A and B are shown apart, each in its own frame.
Chain A
C-alpha cells in the first residue's frame, strides 16, 4: 500500500518534536518491546552456540568456537534426515487430506440458510480448537485405544480383532491427521466463512440472470471469492511446512515409536534438552528456522507473481 497523502504534513515536524509529542505512545509499546527483545531476540543471538562446542558450565562466552562442525554433523546424521522425512510426509499428508476439509465445511455451512442453525453449528465445531492437545489425544485414546470404547464394543460383540489405531505405525499419518481435523477443521472454517460473507449478493443475482444454476454459481462466484484466502493459507502452511504439531507428536511418540513420529522439533528437543547435545540441537533448530523463513518469503513472492495479495504487501 502506498503511503497516504495525510502523512505528508507530519513529515515536516522535526523528529525531536515528534518524540516529545509521542512519548506516551512510546512508553506504551515499551513493555511489549522489552519482552520481545528479551524472549525472542536475545535467543536469536543465543543461536551462536550452533557454531560452538557449547557446555552449560562454560556459558556462551567461554565455550570454544568450532566453525560449521555442528551443521556438518546435522546433515550427516541419518536420524535427523529421518526426522526431516517424517516432517515432510506429515505436512504433505495433512495438506492433501486436512486442508480441503475446512473449505468444504465452510461451503456446506454457508449454504445453510437459517442463521440460527448456522450459529449453533458454528459454536459447536469451533469448540475443539480450544482444547489442549493432551485432552484431544486422551479423548482419542479413550475411544480408539486398546481399552477404549471401540475395542470394548468389539469385544462385547465377540469380535477378536483389536483395533490398534493408536499404536500402529502404519496408520500413524491417518491418526494424527484425523486428530487435527477433529480439533481444528471447525476453527479453520472461520476465515472462509468470513470471506464468503463479503461476496455481494448482486453477483449471485447477476449470475442467475445469466442463467447460472447453483453449481455454476459456486464455480464462478463463490470459489473465486475464496481464492485469495486459500492462497494466503497455503502460503502460511508452506512456511510452517517444517513445523508439525509438536505437542501432538511428543505426546504420542512413545506409543507408536520414533520411527514414524520423530519430527524435526521432537528430534531437537531430545538431542538438546534430554541428551544435552546443545550445540548440535541448536544447529538443527537453526537450519529449520532459516529454511522455514525462506519458504515463507519464497511462497509470498510466488503469490505476488500470480497476482495475489499474499501475507504482506509490497510497499
Chain B
C-alpha cells in the first residue's frame, strides 16, 4: 500500500516537516520490496512462488535425505538398525562403535590408508605437472606451443581404448602397483586447459615487469602467476583429488591383490555386494538376505568414503564457476 488516501495526505501536509519524518521513520508505509529484485520486475504470483519453493525443497531433500539416513545409521547401534529394519531414519541412541570397529585395524583401515596415499601422491603429481604444462603453453608466440597444444587436444577427442592401455600397464609391470592407479590418468587435458586459459587471462604487463626485473619463467610462475591463481589451482586440485579418491574401475582393472585394495573396492565388495567383512568384528553378515547385521558398520564405511570430500568441499566449491567457465575450450 504505497498510495495514501487524499484525506491523510492533507493532514500530513499541515504537520511540520520533522514530525512527518519522525512518523515515517517509526512506521514505514512502503511495502517491503525485495532488495535484490530489479525495479521493473513484477512480484511472482503466489502459485508460482509456492511451486518454486516446493520443487527446490524437494530437490534439496532428495540430496540430503539419503546422506542423513546413512550418517544416522552409521551412528546407531546394531540393535537399533535391526529394529528399524536396516536404515535408521530417526536417530535414537547414538554411538561411535561402528567407527571404532572399522578403524581398529583390518581391511577398512588399510584400504582407507591406501586411498589416502594414492590421492595425496596422485593429486600432487597431477597438479604439479598440469600447472607446469599449462604455464608452459600459456605464453603467446612461444616456441612450438601450437603443435604441443594439439598433442593435448587430441587426447580429449580420441582415447586409445581400454585394452591397449591395459596391455601397456601390464607390460610395464605396473599390475598390482599403486603407480597403475596414478600414472595412466595423471594428466587430464581438460584440467590443463582450465589452468592455461586462466594463466592467459593474467595481465601481460605484470609478467613483463617481472621479466624486466630479471625474473625467469620459473620464478614468474612461482612468485606471480601461482599466487594469483590459487582459486583455480584449488578447483583443479579438487577435480584431480576426487578422481583419485573415487577411482574404482582402474583399481578393479589393475589391482588383483586384495591386500592392496583402495576404499572404493572395499565399499563395493563388502557393502554393495554384501561379502563378509573380515576382521571387522561384526560377526556373521548374511550374504543372502541383504546383511542386516552389520548395517551400522557398512554405513560407517560409506561415510568414511565421503568424509574427505565433505571436508575439502566447502573451501573449494565457491570457486567452481570460475574454474569450470575458464575450462570452456577455445580453439
Contact status of A148 and B52, CB under 8 A, knowing A39-B184, A115-B36: no
Q: Are A191 and B324 in contact (CB under 8 A)?
A: yes
Whether, in the assembled complex, A159 has its beta carbon less than 8 Å from a beta carbon of chain B, the answer is no
Q: Are A125 and B242 in contact (CB under 8 A)?
A: no
Whether, in the assembled complex, B90 has its beta carbon less than 8 Å from a beta carbon of chain A, the answer is no
What residues of chain A lie closer than 8 Å to B135, measured between beta carbons?
A: 25, 28
CA separation between A147 and B89, bound complex, in Å?
15
Whether, in the assembled complex, B16 has its beta carbon less than 8 Å from a beta carbon of chain A, the answer is no
Whether, in the assembled complex, B259 has its beta carbon less than 8 Å from a beta carbon of chain A, the answer is no
Whether, in the assembled complex, B20 has its beta carbon less than 8 Å from a beta carbon of chain A, the answer is no
Q: Are B151 and A36 in contact (CB under 8 A)?
A: yes
Contact status of A32 and B187, CB under 8 A, knowing A132-B264, A273-B166: yes
Whether, in the assembled complex, B320 has its beta carbon less than 8 Å from a beta carbon of chain A, the answer is yes
- In this complex, the member of A36, A281, A293 whose beta carbon has the largest number of chain B beta carbons within 10 angstroms is A36
Contact status of A47 and B164, CB under 8 A, knowing A15-B143, A124-B63: yes
Whether, in the assembled complex, B32 has its beta carbon less than 8 Å from a beta carbon of chain A, the answer is no
CA separation between A123 and B140, bound complex, in Å?
36
Number of interface residues of B (CB under 8 A): 103
Whether, in the assembled complex, B132 has its beta carbon less than 8 Å from a beta carbon of chain A, the answer is yes
| Contact indicator per residue, chain A 18-51, by CB within 8 Å of chain B (1) or not (0) | 1101101111110111011111111111110100
Whether, in the assembled complex, A149 has its beta carbon less than 8 Å from a beta carbon of chain B, the answer is yes
- Give the contacts of B59-108 with A (CB-CB under 8 A): 59-60, 62-64, 66, 69-70, 84-87, 89
What residues of chain A lie closer than 8 Å to B330, measured between beta carbons?
A: 1, 312-313
CA separation between A273 and B168, bound complex, in Å?
13
Whether, in the assembled complex, A246 has its beta carbon less than 8 Å from a beta carbon of chain B, the answer is yes
CA separation between A34 and B143, bound complex, in Å?
18
CA separation between A2 and B143, bound complex, in Å?
19
What residues of chain A lie closer than 8 Å to B313, measured between beta carbons?
A: 123, 127, 130
Q: Which residue of A lies closest to B155 (CB)?
A: A40
Q: Are A18 and B152 in contact (CB under 8 A)?
A: no
Q: Are B163 and A138 in contact (CB under 8 A)?
A: no
What residues of chain B lie closer than 8 Å to A137, measured between beta carbons?
A: 272
CA separation between A130 and B328, bound complex, in Å?
20
Q: Which residue of B lies closest to A156 (CB)?
A: B85
- Give the contacts of A164-205 with B (CB-CB under 8 A): 182, 186, 190-191, 193-194, 201, 204-205
What residues of chain A lie closer than 8 Å to B163, measured between beta carbons?
A: 46, 49, 268, 272-273, 278, 281-282, 285
Q: Are B66 and A143 in contact (CB under 8 A)?
A: yes
Q: Which residue of B lies closest to A101 (CB)?
A: B59
The A interface is mostly helix, strand or loop, or mixed, namely helix
Q: Which residue of A lies closest to B45 (CB)?
A: A214
Number of interface residues of A (CB under 8 A): 109
Q: Are B133 and A29 in contact (CB under 8 A)?
A: yes
Residues of chain A at the chain B interface (Cβ within 8 Å): 1, 6-7, 10-11, 15, 18-19, 21-22, 24-29, 31-33, 35-47, 49, 56, 59, 105, 108-109, 111-115, 119, 121, 123-128, 130-135, 137-139, 141-143, 145-149, 152, 155-156, 182, 186, 190-191, 193-194, 201, 204-205, 208, 213-214, 239, 246-247, 250-251, 265, 268-269, 272-273, 278, 281-282, 285-286, 288-289, 292-293, 296-297, 311-315
Pick 28 A–B contacts, CB within 8 A, sort by A: A6-B141, A11-B141, A18-B143, A31-B129, A39-B165, A45-B164, A46-B160, A46-B163, A49-B167, A111-B44, A115-B36, A131-B306, A133-B248, A134-B267, A138-B267, A138-B272, A182-B63, A190-B324, A194-B324, A204-B40, A247-B248, A250-B252, A268-B163, A272-B162, A272-B163, A273-B253, A288-B161, A312-B331
Residues of chain B at the chain A interface (Cβ within 8 Å): 34, 36-38, 40-42, 44, 52, 55-56, 59-60, 62-64, 66, 69-70, 84-87, 89, 129-130, 132-133, 135-137, 139-145, 148, 151-153, 155, 157-168, 170-171, 183-187, 189, 192, 216-218, 221, 238, 242, 245-249, 252-253, 264, 267-268, 271-272, 289-292, 299, 302, 305-306, 309, 313-314, 317-318, 320-321, 324-325, 328-331
